[in-house]
Structure 1
Amino acid sequence: MIRVLLADDEPMILAGVRAVLSTDPDVKVVAQARDGREAIVLAQAHQPNVALLDIRMPALDGISAAAEIGRTVPHTAACILTTFGENQYVARAIGEGIQGFMLKSGDPRELLAGVHALAAGGAYLSPAIAQWVIGQVRDDLAGLEQIESRIERLTSRERDVLSLLGEGLSNGQIARRLHLVEGTVKAHVSAILVKLHADNRVQAAIAAHRAGLI
């Protein structure tokens, strides 16, 4: 069972997201918060697998709340629920190591796919905002030519791993897809992050998108 924490100061959004999640028998909402500080307290109390956080909330914004949850409840994967009008916050969120970004207005199937990917240890970007995110972090990841040059340093197997990582798969899922042991995949991911100069899996996934590996 995937345990989920929801945090949003808009009751209609909370109700809508909860309704979508309720359609999946493998997902259970264990707590709801109306601001960032409450989200931190509830995450520490309920130990969810995934925390879905509005990017802008009273008391403490979603990015700051997600960063604190990451420090105090490290096994909880944080995902930001955003709109196109809040794009300026996304680069900061990536810098805080947040693993997912999903549009509030996106396809409900994307929400469920994202929750499952995050719970399994992967990263997830809604397809509708992936291209914008790529552009937003351009300065952090250098130019496309430099990215392609860095990807050329990867071995064939590392490229395979990066491609699946870019799809949001966890190490375990990548291992099963490529018929490898999970420890080997973990080693490949570490090597990929070093070679791409990426700080986390989200940045590596963005590099994979930019280089056309997805």
Structure 2
Amino acid sequence: MSLKTEQEEFWASNEWGSEYIKRNSYDRVKNNINFFSKVLDRTHNINSVIEFGANIGLNLLALNQLLPSAKYSAIEINKEACTSLEKLNFLNTIHNESIFDFECKEKRDLVFTKVVLIHINPEYLDAVYKKLYETSSKYILVAEYYNPTPVEVNYRGHEGKLFKRDFAGELLDKYEDLRLVDYGFAYHRDNNFHQDDISWFLLEKTN
């Protein structure tokens, strides 16, 4: 696996990638089911899904409850996380590699990220946008930390590891055939189905 940036090395490492895995818990799946039910409300005919940066598969587990007949794939840089993904028998393909190394050989109806773009080196975001766009046949979902202008945020005592910006807006500006279908916000103090203050944007290809 070739790693281009310090951010990739950070998340691929046993120390920090594995620490993130431990902070995730399968009891979050019910929260994710609620989250994705809202996201999917204005979609139709989703038969294939791929997640960029799937970690241990909590998002895919939720989507599989909502779209049980869809075909699922995952891209994940951390080897330990991929070991957990391998236990999910509904996954068709698992790519243990960097997003930058991933090559699209099959388009999917829904391509998405959830708190992944915030950890990408901003200098390489265009390359990730291109992969999201080229892999999608219909929808692109970005669920990230939003800010109207790019800003860096200290991540658990580390610099250069978390960046907020208008990811969806940049995708819309970059690709003229994308349109905004829906968007929303998930609040960390939701009494029933909390998320991590995530702003989500569902985009659709129009050509």
TM-score interval for Structure 1 and Structure 2 normalised by the shorter chain: 0.3 to 0.5
Using CA pairs under 8 Å that are at least 6 residues apart, name the structure with larger relative contact order, 1 or 2.
2
TM-score for the superposition, normalised by structure 2: 0.33
TM-score for the superposition, normalised by structure 1: 0.32
Name the structure where helix makes up a greater proportion of residues.
1
Name the structure where strand makes up a greater proportion of residues.
2
